[in-house]
A and B are shown apart, each in its own frame.
Chain A
């Protein structure tokens, strides 16, 4: 009895509840995916055991065929590369638009900052799906942008904007921009403006002060924002499906088709494992940054 009393302390209980949940809903699922990725596509039961004991001999049957297929298939290699490319372009655009945006927000009068911040958060509360859908209406051949450009006489023929790389990148930049702005703003608003005054006193032009003081001081915000944009964009499915064309290869879409259309669960699992490997390093950077953030308080 005493043993139980000592073992089940409040602290252990508080740690155990979320840990068990995460083990059940997060860790175990990945182990199962890893396990199925080594199964064969034509196997009737992908959940069947890999480890068989026959005549007292234990056999571990591991198939690398799914991985070999992914590595040798040009389409898969191209899809992985183009996912990384689109994610990188999205991240760069979000940073280029978002950094000055967050900077000017943080330098606005303190009284209006909460309003500016709320205006950035508001789109979060309205459906992501509906906002992406709206871009279809804006970019379509008979859509708003084309009608506008035709009306002012800038173009004579409607431009093909939808189902191109352009529409995909616009959609991804649009959807992920707030994820870049928020951590940058949180970082820049805390910055001590006396550093800039000191830089000015020492003869720096505003431009030099920006590059050599503000930007280095906001490094952690830049990293956090970039990771928050880059990692989910690599595997994005909804935006390429609604706005991208047949030539905009994205791995999330490929994975979805492999699973839902081709019903090839082992191959879909192997694709998942490879995606996880691709984002493992950015995820580690993100977690390190988060831990630093917590320690700094």
Chain B
């Protein structure tokens, strides 16, 4: 009887997981498959073709948008990692200071706050700054500021969880050996969290590359990022060139994820080796 229920449970579990993954991946599979469809008619398969990729190469609107999006994403990723590391360090190491609760709340609020709200308030602030000082023009800089606000929150979460795991005795040892606090940070803390900084960089880069709402509020005339272009087309209906963009994104992401997980696995093996060889000495 007991084996019977656990057998049932196991298969129920497998079924649930399979259906869940099917739900999560169905749209992605659909996008990729139909990017190779030869028909103009959107969702009826009528043969393999690369014509939408060819059409995409001619699509200057999307290509220009991609150029702008990539520039903003790189700038956002660097700024978010620096600010996020500051915030994570404060949250993890400084347990008591005036306004800590408010500080923690403000760091994590952009994670959940609806983007229309962040976008609208940032825009109104930037418009008043522009009225007073004559800059920044709406465009790359303003989008960058918005994305960095969001990116910092995500970077802080990633870096903070690594800082929590890190053993404090290394830093204490460095301090005992006479390091100044900034030396401790750059010589001990930073090398220990560099993997987290790397994943925070990648995460904020993708976030920025993907964002529509903040960009729409903060962009000016002539500064349409790729998601803005895609969104305005998706509102009108289906466009097979958008499927081609999706398939290419998925290709890049898949390669990136496989490469980084291989790298992490290798780093982990190396670390294990060092630990075991240190034990033998």
Binds B, one of A50-58, A65-73, A74-82, A228-236: A228-236
B residues near A279, Cβ cutoff 8 Å: 112-114
A residues near B42, Cβ cutoff 8 Å: 137, 140, 142
Chain B: CB-nearest residue to A23: B106
B residues near A128, Cβ cutoff 8 Å: 210
Given A101-B17, A174-B27, A136:B234 Cβ within 8 A: yes
A residues near B168, Cβ cutoff 8 Å: none
Q: Are A234 and B26 closer than 8 Å at their CB atoms? A: no
21 CB-based A-B contacts, threshold 8 Å: A15-B94, A18-B86, A18-B90, A22-B106, A25-B125, A25-B148, A26-B110, A32-B125, A47-B128, A101-B17, A123-B24, A127-B210, A127-B246, A140-B238, A177-B23, A235-B113, A237-B114, A252-B116, A269-B124, A283-B113, A291-B101
Taking the complex as formed, is A21 at the interface, i.e. its CB lies under 8 A from any CB of chain B?
Answer: yes
For the complex, count residues of A whose C-beta is within 8 A of B: 86
Taking the complex as formed, is B46 at the interface, i.e. its CB lies under 8 A from any CB of chain A?
Answer: no
Binds B, one of A113-121, A188-196, A214-222: A113-121
Q: Which of B56-110 contact A (CB under 8 A)?
A: 83, 86-87, 89-91, 94, 97, 99, 101, 103-110
A residues near B89, Cβ cutoff 8 Å: 14
Q: Which of A91-107 contact B (CB under 8 A)?
A: 97, 100-101, 103-105, 107
Given A14-B90, A18-B86, A126-B28, A228:B112 Cβ within 8 A: yes
A residues near B108, Cβ cutoff 8 Å: 286-287, 290
B residues near A135, Cβ cutoff 8 Å: 27
Q: Is chain B's binding surface mostly helix, strand, loop or mixed?
A: helix
Q: Which one of B14, B120, B164 contacts A272 once the chains associate, using CB atoms below 8 Å?
A: B120
CA distance in complex: A15, B91 (Å): 9
Q: Which one of A25, A131, A142, A259 contacts B44 once the chains associate, using CB atoms below 8 Å?
A: A142
A residues near B210, Cβ cutoff 8 Å: 127-129
The residue in A125, A252, A290, A291 that gathers the most chain B C-beta atoms within 10 A of its C-beta is: A125
A residues near B115, Cβ cutoff 8 Å: 232, 235, 237
A residues near B230, Cβ cutoff 8 Å: 129-130, 133
Chain B: CB-nearest residue to A253: B116
For the complex, count residues of B whose C-beta is within 8 A of A: 83
Taking the complex as formed, is A249 at the interface, i.e. its CB lies under 8 A from any CB of chain B?
Answer: no
Q: Which one of A30, A104, A127 contacts B16 once the chains associate, using CB atoms below 8 Å?
A: A104
Taking the complex as formed, is A43 at the interface, i.e. its CB lies under 8 A from any CB of chain B?
Answer: no
A residues near B97, Cβ cutoff 8 Å: 15
- What string of 1s and 0s marks CB contacts (under 8 Å) between B210-238 and chain A? 10110000000000000100110011011
Q: Are B43 and A142 closer than 8 Å at their CB atoms? A: yes
Given A130-B249, A135-B27, A137-B42, A36:B103 Cβ within 8 A: no
Q: Are A290 and B116 closer than 8 Å at their CB atoms? A: no
Taking the complex as formed, is B192 at the interface, i.e. its CB lies under 8 A from any CB of chain A?
Answer: no
Taking the complex as formed, is B31 at the interface, i.e. its CB lies under 8 A from any CB of chain A?
Answer: yes
- Shortest distance from the beta carbon of B61 to any chain A beta carbon, whole Å: 16
- Shortest distance from the beta carbon of B278 to any chain A beta carbon, whole Å: 25
Q: Are B131 and A47 closer than 8 Å at their CB atoms? A: yes
Taking the complex as formed, is B173 at the interface, i.e. its CB lies under 8 A from any CB of chain A?
Answer: no
Q: Are B104 and A206 closer than 8 Å at their CB atoms? A: no
Q: Are A232 and B21 closer than 8 Å at their CB atoms? A: no
CA distance in complex: A155, B16 (Å): 26
B residues near A297, Cβ cutoff 8 Å: 164
- What string of 1s and 0s marks CB contacts (under 8 Å) between A11-27 and chain B? 10011011101100111
Q: Which one of B43, B131, B181 contacts A144 once the chains associate, using CB atoms below 8 Å?
A: B43
Q: Are B234 and A147 closer than 8 Å at their CB atoms? A: no
CA distance in complex: A147, B145 (Å): 45
Taking the complex as formed, is B261 at the interface, i.e. its CB lies under 8 A from any CB of chain A?
Answer: yes
Given A25-B145, A107-B13, A294-B91, A33:B120 Cβ within 8 A: yes
